[in-house]
Amino acid sequence: MIEIKDLHAKVEGKPILKGLSLSIKPGEVHAIMGPNGSGKSTLSAVLAGRSDYEVTSGSVTFFGKDLFEMSVEERACAGLMLAFQYPVEIPGVKNVYLLKAALNAQRKARGEPEIEAPTFMKLVREKLKFMKIDNSFLHRAVNEGFSGGEKKRNEILQMLILEPKLVLLDEIDSGLDIDALKVVSEGVNSLRDAGRSFLMITHYQRLLDYIEPDFVHVLSDGQIIKTGDKSLALELEDRGYDWVVEETA
């Protein structure tokens, strides 16, 4: 699904990713862990196409296409979705409006007609219920005045409606209490299937109890230095990152 080869990227002239390679196949769930400043969030920003990140070398193919030849919205329409760590507030724009505009933009890109209003509302209500979100939420402005938990639920709600192929979950667990973490994880797990992949970025092993990864990678200084299964995460929880860094030095 996505093939990252020897990726180098800079932020404000400073190299952050220094030769990162990673391959994700359909149906797989990968977790990336690593100390602060190792480049975790940079990776998701580069893949989604933020303009303030400069790719200096390496390649990424998404469904066989050169990802860097695609605009931000083309990547989204091709099925790449970033669930943000800090979803931004957009005053005056209703949630329901953004959801519908996004869904229709993606349908249009696939050559499908716009979704009919009743069908859309039915879909949205069903997903709201699943995510334990009140209907009044639809008429609030996007993320405006939302608690941390509400913002994260909103990201997952969008995911349930847009049904992306590859989801980048950027610290989706930060700022969540246990109940909210459960709801968010259930949302993610409900979408797991053979055709869909996830890349989770997290600091904590806790998230992996709820969303079980197939692979766990340790990112350090812009490179993946160790890969294992979920037992690696438990080990990291116990021993920290230093031993991995030393082991691979």
Q: Which is nearer to another protein, 97 or 120 (CB)?
A: 97
157 binds another protein (CB under 8 A): no
Query: At its nearest, how many Å lie between another protein and the CB of residue 102?
Result: 4
Residues 69-98 that bind another protein (CB under 8 A): 71-73, 75-77, 81-82, 84, 87-93, 97-98
Residues 111-150 that bind another protein (CB under 8 A): 141
187 binds another protein (CB under 8 A): no
Distance, CA of 184 to CA of 171 (rounded, Å): 12
- 1 neighbors 167 (Cβ within 8 angstroms): no
Residue type, 159: M
Distance, CA of 89 to CA of 146 (rounded, Å): 9
Which of 48, 67, 166, 200 binds another protein (CB under 8 A)? It is: 48
- 45 neighbors 89 (Cβ within 8 angstroms): no
Query: At its nearest, how many Å lie between another protein and the CB of residue 144?
Result: 9
Task: Kindly indicate which of the ranges 100-108, 122-130, 188-196, 208-216 contains the residues binding another protein, using the contact rule CB under 8 A.
Answer: 100-108
Residues in contact with another protein, total (CB under 8 A)? 31
Task: Kindly indicate which of the ranges 18-26, 67-75, 210-218, 224-232 contains the residues binding another protein, using the contact rule CB under 8 A.
Answer: 67-75
DSSP conformation class of 84 = -
- 158 neighbors 99 (Cβ within 8 angstroms): yes
Distance, CA of 130 to CA of 124 (rounded, Å): 10
Structure tokens at 185: 């994880």
55 binds another protein (CB under 8 A): no
Selection from 216, 209, 162, 217 nearest residue 189 by Cα: 209
Query: At its nearest, how many Å lie between another protein and the CB of residue 101?
Result: 5
C-alpha distances in angstroms, 38 versus 78, 92, 115, 210, 213?
Answer: 28, 36, 42, 24, 20
Query: At its nearest, how many Å lie between another protein and the CB of residue 249?
Result: 36
Residues in touch with another protein (CB under 8 A) = 48-52, 71-73, 75-77, 81-82, 84, 87-93, 97-98, 101-102, 105-106, 109, 141, 158, 162
